[in-house]
Amino acid sequence: MSRVRIPVTPTLAELRALNIFVSYKSSDWNRAQLVRNELQNTGLRITMLPAHGLPAATTTSEIEITLSKAIEQADGLCLIASPQSVRSDWVKFEFEMAADLLGRVVFLFDTTDSVPEQFSLPQRKPGDNAPCIAVKHASINVNSPDWISECILELCNDPDEGWFDPAHTHNLVLQYDVKQEFSRRKCARKCVLMDHKYRHRHVIDVLPFSWERIDGTTVEDAFWWFIRARGRPKLQEALGTGAVDGFYTWYNVPGADFLQPSDDNRLHVLVVAAAV
């Protein structure tokens, strides 16, 4: 069936609430500055660390801590892809951190529109029992006249979401609080990474939600809400063919500002993993 995409369009206030980390190789500093300035002009807050070292970081471990904290505070990551950056261990480190925690990376190119092999899904090291969670990415050519709007669309929308039957879209507007969605997803991914139930599993998607938005009370109702209300036909197909397993879990996250009063300090999550 032919479907149309109805993306979420963030408001200026929502853009101003988002913090985007820009990853780059120091030799690409001039390009990174241009990207930062263009994205800041849209209202986004941009985190971009200095090109020539971190003054407070004198060891590899301290640099890792500094980078990890910066990415943990971010909502999304834009990676300046170049022949130099794809060979950078620190750029790869930033990508892998974002892949696990944020789940969304936008590659910015000026010569190609393919993702370098060096940035394929991070593979676990031998003996690492943590789940392997898929990262969703998009590639944008910064020479395109619409690259800024394309970048915002990809940062704020899941590529598997927002796809609807055109016969039922005349009054449909897909809208939610983008900042809360980012925060909810980041917290959920962090919880799943530490959850022993998903050890050795290839987790394809992590879908946090609030029961007060679900038209029903069962786990099946929650999955159907994502399929119908959030436009996820691929999820329906994968569940229907047995290609994936679907799970429901919840985590105590007292004080999280993205929770609804009815959540009772619990973050409710659907986990989609490759069938075994």
Indicate if 125 and 218 belong to the same structural domain: no
Tell me, yes or no, whether 163 lies in a domain: no
Residues 149-160, mean pLDDT to the nearest whole number: 94
Distance CA 152, CA 212 (A): 28
**Pairing verdict, β 19-23 and 45-47:** parallel
Residues 9-16, mean pLDDT to the nearest whole number: 94
> Residue 225: its pLDDT value, please?
93
Name the band, by pLDDT with cuts 50, 70 and 90, for residue 42: very high
Tell me, yes or no, whether 171 lies in a domain: no
Indicate if 102 and 48 belong to the same structural domain: yes
Torsion angle of the four alpha carbons 251, 8, 225, 75, in this order, in degrees rounded to the nearest 10 = -10
Among 126, 156, 186, the domain boundary falls at 156
Tell me, yes or no, whether 243 lies in a domain: yes
CA distances from 259 to 181, 221, 249 (A): 10, 20, 15
Tell me, yes or no, whether 170 lies in a domain: no
* pLDDT tens figures, 45-104: 999 988 766 665 568 888 889 899 999 999 999 999 988 888 899 999 999 999 999 999
Tell me, yes or no, whether 172 lies in a domain: no
**Pairing verdict, β 266-274 and 244-252:** antiparallel
Indicate if 209 and 128 belong to the same structural domain: no
Name the band, by pLDDT with cuts 50, 70 and 90, for residue 12: very high
Q: Tell me: pLDDT of 160 over 90.
A: yes
What element of type H or E holds 191?
helix 178-193
Residues 268-274, mean pLDDT to the nearest whole number: 97
Name the band, by pLDDT with cuts 50, 70 and 90, for residue 176: confident
Indicate if 110 and 230 belong to the same structural domain: no
Tell me, yes or no, whether 78 lies in a domain: yes
Indicate if 13 and 71 belong to the same structural domain: yes
Indicate if 152 and 195 belong to the same structural domain: no
Indicate if 81 and 118 belong to the same structural domain: yes
The whole domain housing 114 covers 4-156
> Residue 113: its pLDDT value, please?
47
Distance CA 265, CA 205 (A): 22
CATH number at residue 138: 3.40.50.2300
Tell me, yes or no, whether 213 lies in a domain: yes
> Residue 251: its pLDDT value, please?
97
Tell me, yes or no, whether 12 lies in a domain: yes
Indicate if 76 and 10 belong to the same structural domain: yes
Average pLDDT, the chain: 88
> Residue 95: its pLDDT value, please?
93
Q: Tell me: pLDDT of 173 over 60.
A: no
Residues 27-46, mean pLDDT to the nearest whole number: 96
- Residue with the bigger pLDDT between 209 and 50: it is 209
User: Can you name the residues that pair with 5 across neighbouring β-strands?
Assistant: 163
Residue matched to tokens 């197909």 = 237
Do the Cβ atoms of 270 and 209 come closer than 8 Å?
yes
Indicate if 16 and 113 belong to the same structural domain: yes
Among 90, 122, 156, the domain boundary falls at 156
Q: Tell me: pLDDT of 22 over 90.
A: yes
* pLDDT tens figures, 95-151: 999 999 999 999 999 875 455 665 655 555 545 667 889 899 899 999 999 999 999
Does the pTM of the predicted model rise above 0.85? yes
Task: Report helix, strand or coil for 259.
Answer: coil
> Residue 48: its pLDDT value, please?
94
* pLDDT tens figures, 193-206: 999 999 889 999 99
Residue 119 in tokens? 């940035």
Indicate if 122 and 212 belong to the same structural domain: no
Distance CA 92, CA 66 (A): 15
Indicate if 140 and 18 belong to the same structural domain: yes
- Express as a percent the part of the chain with pLDDT over 70: 88
Indicate if 28 and 143 belong to the same structural domain: yes
Q: How many domains does the chain have?
A: 2
Do the Cβ atoms of 192 and 100 come closer than 8 Å?
no
